[in-house]
Amino acid sequence: MTELEMSLLDLLQEDCRLPLEKLAVMTGVSIEECAAAIERLEKDRVILRYAPTINWDKTGRERVEAMIEVRVMPQRDMGFDAVAKRVYHFPEVRSVYLMSGGYDLLVLVETKTLRELAMFVSEKLSPLEAVTGTATSFVLKRYKEDGVVFEETPSDRRLVVSP
């Protein structure tokens, strides 16, 4: 990975809407070099997609988010990968991570209702033959995601004047 590619990744992670011209200026290369580097990163599947961070609480859209700790019996010759693949293909699943510690997979799930989430856990996730146990925690409020603070109040930048 080149220094230019790493710089571009940092900049795009901070703001994926930066125009190519601005990225070129910020990295000190030509627009063509910048475009070619981004194209390579996309072709090599380093950059997988460009997406905003959304504060869904301000939209009125009803949704239930949960983090499910999943304990798994690894599959012979495949480890945890085969189970993770089955899990991440469910449409309710937003993310799947292999973890160290007290459980094996962390599954982030989003559904429209609590009932749909319960059905997902009881009818899709738990019945998988490799799953030995689950623990579900519901997201009540998001404070920060992907480096973005959701409810930050502007600080008073005035100087304190005392008599």
Structure confidence by residue, pLDDT tens digits, 70-82: 999 987 888 899 9
Integer-rounded Cα Rg, in Å, for the chain is 21
Q: pLDDT digit string (tens) for 138-160?
A: 999 999 988 888 887 766 667 77
Q: Among 107, 120, 25, which residue's Cα sits nearest to residue 70?
A: 107
Q: Give residue 132's pLDDT band: very low, low, confident or very high (50, 70, 90).
A: very high
SS3 call for 53: coil
Q: Can you list the domains of the chain with their CATH numbers? A: 3-43 (1.10.10), 63-140 (3.30.70.920)
Per-residue pLDDT tens for 85-104? 999 999 999 999 999 999 99
124 pLDDT more than 90: yes
pTM: 0.80
- Stretch 2-23: mean pLDDT, rounded? 94
pLDDT of residue 75: 79
pLDDT score recorded for residue 156: 67
The answer to whether the beta carbons of residues 130 and 72 sit under 8 Å apart is: yes
25: confidence class by pLDDT, cuts 50, 70, 90: very high
**33-40: average pLDDT:** 96
Stated as kind and residue range, the H or E segment containing 34 is helix 31-43
Pairing state of beta strands 131-138 and 64-72?
antiparallel
Round to whole Å and give the CA distance between 23 and 1.
Answer: 17
